[in-house]
Structure 1
Amino acid sequence: MATSVLELQNAALSLEGNAGRVNILHDVSLSVVQGETLGLVGPSGSGKSSLLMLMGGLEQATGGSVIALGKDLTGMDEDTLARFRRDSMGVVFQNFHLIPTMTALENVATPLELAGHSDAFVRAEAELEAVGLSHRRDHYPAQLSGGEQQRVALARASAPRPQILLADEPTGNLDETNGAAIVDLLFGLRDKHGATLVLVTHSHTLAERCDRVVRLRDGRVEEKAKQEAAE
């Protein structure tokens, strides 16, 4: 029987807005097993990215529970959550989130250094080579194309060998060619390191590559067959 690495039970998320409290996610119950690739799809504003943020402890559930690798994220303070993400999760965002004053190599190596890895720069070089960017290691984000920046972000996310890899619209800011290359790299890194992958996407093609697809609508989960899942 496959081991569950992410388990949400009646998870809810409410946030304060200008017009008062807004309910974003409602009673979400969902299990993701080890090695699975799960696609989260649905209309804009349906709560896909918010659900991914709950899974990564980047937002705290305001109801229910979020269990990752046997740890209850809802019971952790910010420092503990940050250490847990650093050691166990990789996160890839649509907007790259690279540090502009650091080179590609430094962007990948710095989280490893903070985690206490003495071989941080050796590992960072290997990860940049894996995504085809060893020749750009000394370039700053502003000197890289969007596709290259996302490759650096992938290298940074995969360098610590995370058990869980989360990706929020990883191809959203890229053209079709670069997007396809990033998808191939993302799934290649998952296969290489055996990580569980959860990704948010609007792409039907990307959703079709997932083992399972879950649709969100109005902050609630609807599980659908793969061919029906993406719009």
Structure 2
Amino acid sequence: MSETVLSLADARLVLAGNAGPVEILRGITLEVKAGETLGLVGPSGSGKSSLLMLMGGLERATGGQVHALGQDLTAMDEDQLARFRRLNMGVVFQSFHLIPTMTALENVAVPLELAGVTDAFARAEAELRNVGLGARTDHYPSQMSGGEQQRVALARAAVTRPRILLADEPTGNLDGANGAAIMDLLFGLRDRHGATLVLVTHAPDLAARCDRVVRLVDGRIAADTLRAAAE
């Protein structure tokens, strides 16, 4: 049986709102296996992105447990979480979150430099070539299109060879052609590195490419469907 790489048990998230506490996630129990591609779908405000943030330790559960690669994320402090993500996870957002004063090469090399990798720039350059930006290594984010910036973000997420890739609406700020190209690259990175991919999307065609789709409604799992069972 495949290894469980992400596990949530009755995970809850309550955030402070202007009118009082707001329940974002209401008891999520979920397991994701090694190499699986999981799509998270549902209406706006259903908790998809918040669930992804819990999986990546970018948001701390206010109840229940969240484990990644056998480690209890709810028991880690911020420094431990940052170190764990740097070693094990790649995260891609709708907004590219590139450092504007750094070139594409420098942006991709950052996580490797933080990890003390000696050949950080050589590996970063190779990853930029993998996403079709070998000729743009010295360009700054302001000199690149949205699609190119997201390619840089993908290269940065993949350069550490993460076991887990998390993507939150990675095509949300792109046109159809660029969005399709980014998704092809993302699935290609997953295949090349053997990573587990969790993808938040509103697009039915992207969800259809996932092995399994979990639908959230009002902070709860409303459906959990294997693609093979749906076909």
Establish whether residue 70 from structure 1 lines up as the match of residue 56 from structure 2.
Answer: no
Q: 1:213-224 alignment to 2 at 5 Å? A: 213-224=213-224
Q: CA deviation at 1:20?
A: 1.4
Q: CA-to-partner distance for each residue in 1:151-204, whole Å, 9 max, x for gaps?
A: 000000000000000000000000000000000000000000000000100011
Q: Name the count of aligned residue pairs.
A: 227
Distance 2:111 2:25 in 1: 31
Q: Which residue of 2 aligns with 1:138?
A: 138
Q: 1:96-175 alignment to 2 at 5 Å? A: 96-175=96-175
Q: CA deviation at 1:18?
A: 1.6
2:189 aligned counterpart, secondary structure:
helix
Amino acid at match of 1:199: L
Q: CA deviation at 1:224?
A: 4.2
Q: Which residue of 2 aligns with 1:205?
A: 205
Q: Percent identity?
A: 74
| Structure 2: segments with no counterpart, 5+ residues | none
Q: CA deviation at 1:226?
A: 6.2
Q: CA-to-partner distance for each residue in 1:89-137, whole Å, 9 max, x for gaps?
A: 0000000100000000000001110110000000000000000001011
Amino acid at match of 1:10: D
Q: CA-to-partner distance for each residue in 1:59-113, whole Å, 9 max, x for gaps?
A: 0000000000000000000000000000000000000100000000000001110
Q: CA deviation at 1:225?
A: 3.8
Q: Which residue of 2 aligns with 1:95?
A: 95
Distance 2:70 2:193 in 1: 20
Asked whether the 8 Å contact 1:10–1:65 carries over to 2, the reply is yes
Distance 2:20 2:92 in 1: 30
Question: Alignment RMSD, CA only?
Answer: 0.9
With the length of structure 2 as denominator, give the TM-score of the two structures: 0.97
Asked whether the 8 Å contact 1:46–1:219 carries over to 2, the reply is yes
Establish whether residue 86 from structure 1 lines up as the match of residue 68 from structure 2.
Answer: no
Distance 2:149 2:117 in 1: 23
Q: CA deviation at 1:146?
A: 0.3
Q: Which residue of 1 aligns with 2:48?
A: 48
Distance 1:226 1:60 in 2: 28
Q: CA deviation at 1:19?
A: 1.6
Asked whether the 8 Å contact 1:47–1:216 carries over to 2, the reply is yes
Q: CA deviation at 1:21?
A: 1.0
Structure 1 runs (4+) deviating above 4 angstroms are: none
1:134 aligned counterpart, secondary structure:
coil
Asked whether the 8 Å contact 1:207–1:226 carries over to 2, the reply is no
Asked whether the 8 Å contact 1:8–1:67 carries over to 2, the reply is yes
